[in-house]
Structure formats: C-alpha cells, structure tokens
Structure 1
Amino acid sequence: MIARIPIVFAFDNNLTFPACICISSLLMNAKETTFYDIFILHSKQERLDRLGLDKLEEFYKNCKITYRTVDSFFDKSFEIRGITTPAYYRLLIPDLIPEYGKVIYSDVDVIFRSDLSDIYYGTDLSDYYIAGVNSLAHLVPKYKNYFINQRHLDPTRIIYSGNLIFNSQKMREDNLISRFRELAMNKYMFQDMDILNIVCSGKICYLTPDFCLSTFVSEAMVYQREALLQLWSQEEIETAFQTGIVHYNGQKPWKGFCVNFDIWWEYYRRSPFFNEKFYFDFFYNKLNELDQLSLWKRIKILVRYFVYGRKSL
C-alpha cells in the first residue's frame, strides 16, 4: 500500500537552489511505498523559477509538485535577521491545502536523511494543533528572558517552526488562521515561530530531535548533553545525530562553512543538480580565504582551538 504524505515548502527565487537540494534529499530517502504530495507556496507577485523544481518530477517518480500562490497580506509584516515574507506563508497552510487534515511543513535550508512515513502516520494529533521539536530556548538566557517577560510563555515549551506537522483540520475548525493573521502585524523577535507558539500554546505535541536537528541542537548535544537528557533519551539523541533532519538555521552550507555542512554537500553531490565547477569553486575559494587570513586572525583561531576546542576532547 502506498503511503501518501503531503509536505509543504514556502520560498522565493532567492532560495530555489537550496530548495531543489532539500527536496531532492527528501525524495532520495523515500521508501518504495512512499509518495510525496509536494506543495510549494510562493507570492503571486513573483514568477517563481521552476526550471530546477520541474526537474525533480522528471528525475524522481515518487512525487507530485503543486504550486499555490499566496496573496499580499503578509507583504508588510515585520521582518528581522534577513527572514523574509515567505516565512509567514506556513501560517496559511490549513486554508491553502484544504485537501488534507494533517500536513508536514519544512523550511528549505534542510537535508532529509530518512523517510517521513513513520513520523507522519505515527504522530497522533487528535488533541493538538501542531507538532514540533523543542527549540531549547530555556538554555539561552536572553531567549529565556524574552519568552518569559515579553511573550509570557514557558521557555521550556517553545518549538521550532522550521519543521512542523499541522493538524490542519483542527486549526480550520477552531479558526486559528484569523488569529495568525492578526498577530502577523506585531514585531516579534522570531516572527512566525512566536506566532505559532503563542496561538498553539497548550495544544503542542513535542517530537524527538530527529525531526529538526538544528544547528543549536547539534551544539547542545556536544556541550549541554545532560540538559538534553532531561528532554530526550540517549537513543533519541543518537538517532538525531545519525539520521535526523538537518536544519541549517544559521550559516548556510552553500554559502560558507557551518555545523554539518559536509552533510549538505554530500547530498548536493548525489543530487541531479550537481555541478563540478560550483563544487570546486566553493572549496577552492574557501581555502584561499584561509590562506589570506592575517596573522592576528590565525592566532585567534589557534586560541579558540586550544582554549575551547580541546575541552570537548
């Protein structure tokens, strides 16, 4: 029996390249019995470049891609840290994808390393609006204070918004979209993430870290493992390291070196979009950057290694 899984992405032309690699990794790891019904949300005011995206359906036969346009409602919403308007589009998923009662959403600065059928069909959202992974906001003092003092939320219960499962049916029934639209006019530090945590508070299902192995979660697994063991088991942490969805919610691997950048480049090499020149130029230029560092910057790198890096050995 075929497992049909709806999954939604939202982006503009600035991110079509990483979106192609992201979706390629999703399809590359699909079981033979999994079929992905992919929806791409984009602004109706932008002609989305579909050249690479259309190639996905030609290369992989276990998917269908549908494009849905979004109106200009969020065009004047608050933006911070370079996160643009399409970040808000996920808030409209229940209305834009009415044919499904439960839907997965993912950002495109992501690499999938396993099939999603088990978590999609195995996550019971009957009593919840949404499912996601704990963001560990309580481990960062400024974020902890922000959620307590400004958002009046428990910082130990905040989830990431980059990888989610929506109970779209329940959201539609309880008219959450109008609340989302209302709050989108406010200036929140974490934009859509704040809105989802505020509106869905008390109705959030918490998933294991393999569903969103963010850069910060990866760091915490190394330096704050005892704190993580209060949330997840050792086995759950190891599974996230080995096969979890890698989310690059900081530096992007196609732009520079970052945590788990090698995983992204490996999937790029295996994708139908691999370009030898782009691959060579990236690493050659990075080596040149290191060669051209000033003496003082080289000393700082050595100090970092001997003072901080060796502590983890």
Structure 2
Amino acid sequence: MNEKHERIPIFFAIDDGYAPFLSVALASIIQNASREYMYKITVLHQNLSKTNQERLAALGAEHVEIQFVPMENRLEGITDRIGNRLRADFFTLTIFFRLFIPVMFPEYDKAIYLDSDVVVPGDISELYRTELGDHLLAAAADHSVAGVPPFVDYIENGVGVKKDQYINSGVLLMNLKKMRESRLEHRVLELMDTYHFDCIAPDQDYLNVLCNDRIVYLPPFWDAMPAEAAEPIENPKLIHYNLFAKPWCYDHVQYESYFWKYARHSGYMKEIMNCKELYGEKERQSDRECLELMLERAKAIAAAELNFKSVFNSGREKRL
C-alpha cells in the first residue's frame, strides 16, 4: 500500500446478515473514491463469519484496505474503563457503538462513519475534506421525517431540537479529537444511567441532543434518503436507504438504480436477489406494524414528562 498519500479512515458496523448490503456500499466507495488518497475501512462487527470477512476483504484495492474488528473486544475494554455504569446488557452498547469510536480508535483525530445501507456515487474524500473547526461532527438534516407530523412532534418536543436541525446519524464526519476532549461517551453513559430516556433512534437522538450547537450541516446530497413525498435529489453523492426503503426488499424505491448498479459489482448479487425474492407479504406487514409502533411511541415520548427536552430545558443537563 502506498504510504505517501493521506489515509482516510471510514467505519461501518454490521452483523453477518448485513454482509451482502455492505458489499454494495464498499463497491461504490472503491469505484468512485479519489486515488489521491488511501482509505482504511474498518468494519466493526458482531459475529461476522470468516467466509464473509474474506469475501468482503476481496473487494479491496490498491488504494483501499479493509479490516475487521469484533465489536465485543473493543466495547468490553471501554466498559471496564468507565466502571460499567450502564444498567443494561451488551446489546445496548452495540446500538451506541458509533459514539465510542473516538475512544476505541485514539489513533485517529477525524473519521467517517457510514451505515451499511448506503451507496456512494460521489467521491468520499470530498466529504472527509469538509472543514470541522471546533465542531464535533458534520451530518445532514434528516429530511425523511420532516413531513411526518408525529416524528416532527417527537423531534421538537421529545428530543428538543428544531426539525431542520435534527441530523441523521447514518452519515457522519466525526471530529474524534474534539469528541474525546468533550468526553462524549461519558456524557452518553451518564445520561443513560441517570434518566434511561425512551428513544426512537437512541444513538442518533443522543448525538442530536448533546452536539446540537456544534454540528456542521452537510448539503442534502451527502445523505439522500428515499422519500415518497419529495422529489429526488439530482446527482446525489451518497444515498442512504434509511428505515424501510430498501431496494432489496421493495420495488420502485427512490434511487434504486444506483443500488443495483453497484450490486452487480459486489460479489453478492445472488444473495441480494434471493433476499428480495423471499421478502413477501408477511415481511411487509411486519414493516407496517413496526412503523405504526414507532409513530405511537413518538407521540408518547413527545408528551412524556421526562424526555430529553424537559431535562435539558430545565437546566439539569447541558449540551457539549
């Protein structure tokens, strides 16, 4: 690997079932990323099989190195250092793992985190070159929920931020140095241990609450999400198939052509097509029920006496 070029760290996290979809994200990054940089892609995983590790690693290129790190090993070390104050099991920590990247990887001062349900038709190095200054992170506002009244109510009255300032945490440019200085992971754990907030999107909500005043807002083309009520973004640089809008589950998903373009180069096309063929009415009904439950929870949390907004507005807690 050529060491003369700056190295850009990129993080993903998956379990074994998500390997086929991560392969599409990797294929798109590798095809479109500038050769002026080297890329160190770290896949944090829970029980990712050796076979899938080998197949995903095979996608690497001269300018892209892919490594695999078991989440259990790193998170155990973190919980030991903080006294394991969380009254929860290991699964709770895996939900919040991206918040721990700063302390898990102290060798980096800046990094990209991406959910695995993305494709990147743009040059990912452009995202990395975004200036952060003293801000903790850069992310795009979550426009996919802006037209859903119960979610807007949840954002403004449950989380306590303006709807146009509520970010989606599936695409993050993280100022790891400033996050370490702010002790982000300690603040998250303290809040969890003290209040046990009910959340719709736990890691996303904690980032929105704690970092709200220290976020660089990215243009929407860095986190284009399918939305039936909105026109598609022209020439998106990154597409995020958020929530249920997965082209490997449904037909006629906005931006689906991008996914299938890179799926053909992923090495997992057979598995992806099989997944779609098996996704039937039972699974779609489950999605509908899940969405209804989310909407009901959103309403309940927004109306609750104890939520992020009530605690932070009272002055009991402060943002970073």
Q: Which aligned pairs between 1:8-157 and structure 2 lie closer than 5 A?
A: 8-43=11-46, 47-61=47-61, 62-68=63-69, 69-70=71-72, 71=75, 76=88, 86-121=94-129, 123-136=130-143, 137-157=145-165
Higher relative contact order (CA 8 A, sep 6+): 2
Task: Letter of the 2:234 partner, please give it.
Answer: E
After TM superposition, give the deviation of residue 25 of structure 1 in Å.
1.6
CA distance in structure 2 between the aligned counterparts of 1:113 and 1:246, rounded to whole angstroms:
8
CA distance in structure 2 between the aligned counterparts of 1:59 and 1:149, rounded to whole angstroms:
44
Task: Letter of the 2:238 partner, please give it.
Answer: I
Q: Does the CA-based 8 Å contact 2:140-2:219 persist in structure 1?
A: yes
Task: Letter of the 1:161 partner, please give it.
Answer: S
The TM-score normalised by the length of structure 2 is 0.72
1:149 partner SS:
helix
Distance 1:42 1:55, change over 3 A: closer
Q: Deviations over 1:32-58 (max 9, x none)?
A: 223210112224xxx321423333443
What 5-or-longer segments of structure 1 have no aligned partner?
223-236, 290-313
The TM-score normalised by the length of structure 1 is 0.73
Q: How many residues align?
A: 260
After TM superposition, give the deviation of residue 270 of structure 1 in Å.
2.3
Q: Does the CA-based 8 Å contact 2:23-2:267 persist in structure 1?
A: no
Correspondence for 1:264 among 240, 259, 263: 259
CA distance in structure 2 between the aligned counterparts of 1:92 and 1:207, rounded to whole angstroms:
22
1:255 pairs with 2:266: no
Q: CA RMSD in A?
A: 2.8
Partner of 2:235: 239
Correspondence for 2:178 among 154, 167, 170: 170
After TM superposition, give the deviation of residue 60 of structure 1 in Å.
2.9
CA distance in structure 1 between the aligned counterparts of 2:65 and 2:40, rounded to whole angstroms:
5
CA distance in structure 2 between the aligned counterparts of 1:151 and 1:282, rounded to whole angstroms:
35
What 5-or-longer segments of structure 2 have no aligned partner?
80-85, 282-320
Distance 1:168 1:272, change over 3 A: same
1:214 partner SS:
coil
CA distance in structure 1 between the aligned counterparts of 2:221 and 2:258, rounded to whole angstroms:
15
Q: Does the CA-based 8 Å contact 1:12-1:86 persist in structure 2?
A: no
Between 185-194 and 54-63, report the one with greater CA deviation. 54-63
Distance 1:143 1:282, change over 3 A: closer
Task: Letter of the 1:146 partner, please give it.
Answer: Y
Q: Does the CA-based 8 Å contact 2:24-2:265 persist in structure 1?
A: no
1:7 partner SS:
strand
Task: Letter of the 1:270 partner, please give it.
Answer: H
After TM superposition, give the deviation of residue 138 of structure 1 in Å.
4.2
Identical counterparts, % of pairs: 30
Q: Which aligned pairs between 1:173-252 and structure 2 lie closer than 5 A?
A: 173-184=181-192, 185-216=196-227, 219-221=229-231, 237-240=233-236, 244-251=237-244, 252=246
Between 170-179 and 149-158, report the one with greater CA deviation. 149-158
Distance 1:255 1:2, change over 3 A: same
| Structure 1 moving runs of 4+ over 4 Å | 72-75, 281-286
2:8 partner SS:
strand
Q: Does the CA-based 8 Å contact 1:77-1:186 persist in structure 2?
A: no
CA distance in structure 2 between the aligned counterparts of 1:101 and 1:6, rounded to whole angstroms:
10
